[in-house]
A and B are shown apart, each in its own frame.
Chain A
Amino acid sequence: MNWCSRGIRNAFRNLTRTFSLIIILGLSIGLSLAMFISHQAVTQKINNVKGSVDNTISIFPAGLRGFAGGGTPLTQSQLKSVSALPHVVQLNETLSDRLTSSDTNLQSAVSAGFLGRRFAGNGFGGNVKFTPPVTVNGTTSPTDLAVSAATTGGGSFSLLSGTVFSGTSNSNVALVGTGLASKNNLKVGSTFTAYGSNISVVGIFSSGTRFGDNQVVMPLLTLQRLSGETGDVTAATAYVDSVTNLASVTNKIKAVLGSAADITNSQQQAQNAISSLQSIQTISLYSLIGAVVAGAIIILMTMVMIVRERRREIGVIKAIGSSNLRISGQFMAEAVTLTIAASVIGILIGAVAANPITNMLVSNSNSSNSSAAANPGGGVFRQRRFSGAFGGLHHSFANIHAVVGYGIIGYGLLAAIIIALIGSSVSSYFIAKIRPAEVMRVE
Chain B
Amino acid sequence: MTRKQKRLAVIGGAMVFLALASGLTLYALGQKTSYFYMPGELAGAQIEPGQRIRLGGLVEKGTVIRGEGQDISFSVTDQVGSVTVAYSGILPDLFREEQGVVTEGTLRQDGVFVADSVLAKHDENYMPKEVADGLKANGLWQDEN
| B partners with A | no
B interface residue numbers (CB < 8 A to A): none
